[in-house]
Amino acid sequence: MKTIERELYENIETLKGRATRCRDKEIEDFNKEVVKLGRGLEKELEEAKTARGQNGLADIATELSMTSKAKKVFQIIMETLSQHYEAEPEDYYEVAGKIEKSLRKKYS
């Protein structure tokens, strides 16, 4: 989630910067609309993070009744993967999805 939030924030800031240099009213209006949608997405991501736990992993750990040590190991692994795939977030989500699917299959 952190990667998505960071990318969203950076892209919104880029759009805001471009808007200050734009003189076309139609493009300015479109840019404002896109920034507004982006801010809405930021809010939804924050709400989703709160609902799932700070790192987004709490639900599966709790759902699968992981011990506190297993939760910690799982969290370390997922954070390490997130950092490793920072430049390729799509790859991270693909791997994270496979891990979650495998865990659910094995422990549910």
Q: Are 38 and 56 in contact (CB under 8 A)?
A: no
Q: Which residues contact 74 (CB under 8 A, 6 or more apart)?
A: 57, 60, 61, 66
Same-domain pairing of 47 and 88: no
What global pTM score does this model have? 0.50
Regions of the chain short of the pLDDT cut 70: 1-3, 48-58
Same-domain pairing of 28 and 64: no
Distance CA 69, CA 75 (A): 10
Q: What is the pLDDT of residues 65-90, one digit of tens each?
A: 888 898 899 889 988 998 998 888 77
Q: Are 103 and 14 in contact (CB under 8 A)?
A: no
- Residue 14 is predicted with a pLDDT of 87
- Residue 45 is predicted with a pLDDT of 76
- Residue 47 is predicted with a pLDDT of 72
- The total of structural domains in the chain comes to 2
- Residue 84 is predicted with a pLDDT of 93
Q: Which domain covers residue 33, as residue numbers?
A: 1-52
Same-domain pairing of 36 and 62: no
- Residue 49 is predicted with a pLDDT of 62
Same-domain pairing of 48 and 61: no
- Residue 80 is predicted with a pLDDT of 93
